[in-house]
Structure 1
Amino acid sequence: MDAERQRQMILDQFTRQAIPFTELPAHSEEASNRLVIETAGITPNDTVLDVACGPGLITCEIAAIARRVTGIDLTPAMIEQAEKRQSSKGLANMDWRIGDVTVLPFDDASFSSVVTRYSFHHLLDPKAVLAEMVRVCQPGGKVTVVDMFTSSPEQADALNQVERLRDPSHVRALGADELVQLFEDAGLKNVRTEYYKVEMQVEKILAVSFPNPGDGDKVRQLFRDDVGVNRIGMGAMLKDGAVYYAYPIVIVVGDK
Structure 2
Amino acid sequence: MSTTAASAGTLSTFLVRLADFAEPSPHDDVLDVACGPSLMAHALEGRVGRITVAGIGPEPSGQGFPADPSALPFADGSFSLVTARFALHRLTDPAAALREMLRVCHPSGRIVLADLARTNLSSDHRDALERVRDPGFRSIPRIDGLLAMVEGAGARITGMDLLSVERPAAPWLEAAPSPAIAERLREVLLAEVDGGPKTGAKPRVIGGELWFTQTWAHLVARPAGA
TM norm structure 2: 0.84
Could you tell me which of 223, 227, 237 is aligned with 2:189?
223
Cα distance, 1:53–1:65 mapped onto 2, change above 3 Å? farther
> Which aligned pairs between 1:171-190 and structure 2 lie closer than 5 A?
171-190=138-157
**2:136 maps to 1:169:** yes
8 A Cα contact 2:34 2:54, kept in partner:
yes
3-state SS of paired residue (2:27): coil
Of 105-114 and 36-45, the range deviating more from structure 2: 36-45
Larger RCO, structure (CA 8 Å, separation 6 or more)? 2
> Which aligned pairs between 1:237-256 and structure 2 lie closer than 5 A?
237-256=204-223
8 A Cα contact 2:53 2:65, kept in partner:
yes
Cα distance, 1:140–1:43 mapped onto 2, change above 3 Å? same
Q: CA deviation at 1:223?
A: 1.4
**2:174 maps to 1:203:** no
* Partner residue in 1 for 2:115: 147
> Which aligned pairs between 1:52-201 and structure 2 lie closer than 5 A?
52=34, 54-74=36-56, 78-80=60-62, 82=63, 96-152=64-120, 154-155=122-123, 157-201=124-168
Cα distance in 2 between the residues matched to 1:26 and 1:77: 25
Paired AA for residue 25 in structure 1: G
Paired AA for residue 223 in structure 1: L
Cα distance, 1:123–1:198 mapped onto 2, change above 3 Å? same
Q: Deviations over 1:84-109 (max 9, x none)?
A: xxxxxxxxxxxx22222232111111
Could you tell me which of 28, 38, 41 is aligned with 1:46?
28
Q: CA deviation at 1:37?
A: 2.0
Cα distance in 1 between the residues matched to 2:165 and 2:18: 13
3-state SS of paired residue (1:105): coil
Q: CA deviation at 1:46?
A: 0.7
Cα distance, 1:244–1:126 mapped onto 2, change above 3 Å? same
Detail structure 1 runs of 4+ shifted over 6 Å in the superposition. none
Paired AA for residue 24 in structure 2: I
Cα distance in 1 between the residues matched to 2:86 and 2:41: 13
Structure that is richer in strand per residue:
2
8 A Cα contact 2:169 2:212, kept in partner:
yes
Cα distance in 2 between the residues matched to 1:150 and 1:205: 18
3-state SS of paired residue (1:189): strand
- Give structure 1 stretches of 5+ with no counterpart: 1-23, 83-95
Paired AA for residue 221 in structure 1: E
3-state SS of paired residue (2:36): coil
Cα distance, 1:176–1:154 mapped onto 2, change above 3 Å? closer
The size of the alignment, in residue pairs, is 215
Cα distance in 2 between the residues matched to 1:213 and 1:176: 32
TM norm structure 1: 0.75
Q: CA deviation at 1:228?
A: 7.5
- Give structure 2 stretches of 5+ with no counterpart: 1-7
RMSD between superposed Cα atoms in Å: 2.4
Q: CA deviation at 1:38?
A: 2.5
3-state SS of paired residue (2:185): helix
Cα distance, 1:228–1:182 mapped onto 2, change above 3 Å? farther
8 A Cα contact 1:116 1:145, kept in partner:
yes
- Percent sequence identity is 28
* Partner residue in 2 for 1:35: 17
* Partner residue in 2 for 1:85: none
Cα distance in 1 between the residues matched to 2:166 and 2:114: 16
